[in-house]
């Protein structure tokens, strides 16, 4: 592949037959992260089969369809469609070579492996080697075959982790925020642990009742060590933790579908006691990545109501409810509402008792933003948007253009999965002072979307 402006790729993503984003890799950060939803809307509303190449708002979309899924590449540059479609075909063959087949189930179960492949075959948006023989020496994760019978799934996952100890972290570094303690001097003898969970949920608003069509948690346990002498660390998780939950999950258990460990972790004790032994390097390291599909309650529910009041007036009412409990709260919550192209004017109305809430309309994006600085547990907030359409607009078509609505949030000291750190011990001997240990939990939105 030529290395130049003509080969600059912004993003790669895989969309399921229902419109769920299964894989998303942002290489350049020069296009919005909502492209997968824009792509799906174009596909959904196309007359017949969607074109393999099209442009929306200056962003080029190029895609191939495999097993009902769409593999798509986006770019702001005028790329050669033939080159990109050939690249997508090669990516399809590469994923199939490693996973045995390419369908929604194999992609979901091998997301860590697929991200590792994407890291190796693409460099800042420039395609590199795409042949299986060329990249196999750099890939250390082993595939989870769809046809496997999980008789001893925990042992199988631990064996896979042992085979992947040389692998680097497979999650996108841009998606992991640095934990508390950045800039702390090594001499302070401290260790910081973050349990970070990024939540992906897609709701389908049928009969004014949001129905979950896809839900997933991508979690990471991040350690930042400033310990003197590099002592061993013991990290204990829930004793009822289940890996590979299909058919073995019980009520109240924490069930992880996929797990991947860092090379500094010793996992021989993990199967028996759920204890990781770690000799961490200085600085930040991701000890464990995990994925949970479907088996959790959403932290927020969003209820959109669209009312066509007259031939050119639409009122959109949005209610957001926090499903988590005290003492937790949502921080810097933002609701994004895409509006019709042919609107004449728009205004937002908040309740008179709203505190710490604001709205902003961004004309170039045709989007209304609703900001809630602090969202208390078990509370409900609402906002109305009044739209006056252009005199030549078709109100039915404009109503369909509203949405999908997306939610951005962070919930400190909370996680949806129920994964808990029982203790964090530093095995030091002969020291008068014990090191400081800090543990926190963070839940963030990755893609939290409600289709209207």
**pLDDT tens for residues 202-212?**
998 766 677 88
Question: What's the CA gap between 431 and 352, in Å, rounded?
Answer: 59
Q: Is residue 238 part of a domain?
A: yes
Low-confidence ranges of the chain (pLDDT < 70): 1-7, 47-48, 145-188, 206-208, 245-252, 282-283, 429-433
Question: What is the reported pTM?
Answer: 0.61
Question: Do 99 and 22 share a structural domain?
Answer: yes
CA-closest candidate to residue 118, choices 102, 139, 100: 139
Query: DSSP E strands: which ranges in 229-328?
Result: 232-237, 242-243, 255-256, 258-261, 265-266, 275-278, 283-293, 300-308, 313-322
pLDDT of residue 155: 33
Query: Domain range holding 325?
Result: 300-412
Residue of 414, 431, 426 whose CA lies nearest to 236: 426
Sign of CA dihedral 43, 45, 48, 53: negative
Give per-residue pLDDT as tens, 118-148: 888 888 888 887 877 778 778 877 777 654 3
Burial 132-161 (b: 16+ CB within 10 A, else e): eeebeeebbbbbbebeeebeebbebbbebb
Task: Evaluate whether 223 touches 193 at the Cβ level (below 8 Å).
Answer: yes
* 3-state SS assignment for residue 332: strand
**Which residue from 301, 306, 326 is spatially nearest to 409, judged by alpha carbons?**
301
In a domain, 76, yes or no: yes
Please give the helix or strand (H or E) that residue 204 lies within, else none: strand 190-206
Q: Is the domain of 420 the same as that of 407?
A: no
Strands annotated E in 16-94: 21-26, 53-56, 59-66, 69-75
Q: Does residue 110 fall inside a structural domain?
A: yes
Cα–Cα nearest to 257, from 270, 244, 238 = 244
Q: List the structure tokens of 265.
A: 């972790």
Strands (E) located in 31-107: 53-56, 59-66, 69-75
User: Same structural domain for residues 166 and 285?
Assistant: yes
Specify the pLDDT at position 167. 29
Cis peptide before 404 (omega within 30 of 0): yes
According to the model, what pLDDT value does residue 251 have? 56
Q: Where a domain ends, among 138, 164, 184?
A: 138
| pLDDT value at residue 145 | 62
Residue 146 lies in a domain: no
pLDDT value for 198: 92
In a domain, 147, yes or no: no
């Amino acid at each position: 592949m030529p290395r130049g402006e003509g080969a600059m790729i912004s993003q790669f993503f895989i969309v399921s037959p229902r419109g769920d984003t299964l894989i998303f890799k942002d290489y350049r950060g020069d296009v919005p992260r909502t492209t997968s939803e824009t792509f799906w809307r174009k596909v959904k509303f196309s007359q017949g089969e969607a074109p393999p190449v099209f442009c929306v708002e200056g962003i080029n979309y190029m895609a191939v369809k495999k097993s009902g899924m769409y593999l798509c590449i986006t770019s702001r540059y005028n790329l050669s469609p033939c080159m990109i479609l050939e690249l997508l075909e090669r990516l399809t063959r590469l994923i199939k070579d490693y996973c045995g087949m390419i369908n929604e189930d194999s992609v979901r179960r091998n997301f860590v492996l697929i991200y590792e492949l994407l890291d190796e075959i693409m460099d800042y948006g420039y395609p590199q080697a795409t042949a299986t023989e060329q990249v196999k020496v750099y890939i250390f994760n082993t595939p989870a075959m769809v046809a496997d019978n999980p008789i001893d799934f925990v042992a199988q996952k631990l064996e896979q982790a042992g085979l992947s100890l040389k692998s680097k972290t497979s999650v996108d570094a841009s998606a992991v925020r640095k934990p508390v303690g950045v800039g702390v001097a090594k001499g302070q003898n401290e260790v910081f642990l973050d349990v970070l969970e990024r939540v992906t949920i897609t709701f389908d608003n049928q009969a004014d009742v949001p129905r979950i069509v896809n839900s997933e948690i991508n979690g990471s346990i991040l350690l930042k060590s400033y310990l003197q002498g590099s002592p061993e660390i013991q990290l204990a998780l829930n004793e009822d933790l289940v890996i590979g939950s299909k058919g073995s999950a019980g009520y109240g258990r924490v069930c992880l579908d996929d797990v991947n460990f860092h090379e500094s972790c010793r996992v021989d004790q993990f199967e028996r006691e759920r204890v990781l032994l770690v000799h961490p390097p200085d600085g930040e390291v991701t000890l464990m990545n995990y994925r949970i599909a479907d088996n959790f309650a959403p932290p927020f529910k969003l209820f959109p109501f669209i009312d066509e009041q007259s031939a050119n007036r639409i009122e959109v009412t949005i209610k957001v409810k926090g499903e988590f409990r005290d003492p937790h709260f949502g921080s810097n919550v933002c609701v994004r509402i895409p509006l019709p192209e042919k609107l004449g004017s728009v205004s937002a109305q908040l309740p008179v008792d709203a505190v710490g809430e604001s709205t902003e309309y961004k004309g170039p994006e045709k989007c209304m933003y609703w900001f809630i600085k602090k969202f208390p547990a078990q509370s409900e907030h609402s906002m109305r948007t009044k739209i006056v359409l252009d005199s030549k607009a078709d109100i039915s078509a404009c109503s369909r253009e509203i949405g999908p609505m997306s939610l951005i949030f962070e919930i400190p000291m909370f996680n949806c999965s129920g994964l808990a750190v029982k203790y964090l011990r530093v095995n030091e001997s002969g020291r008068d002072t014990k090191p400081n240990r800090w543990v926190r939990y963070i839940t963030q939105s990755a893609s939290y979307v409600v289709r209207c």
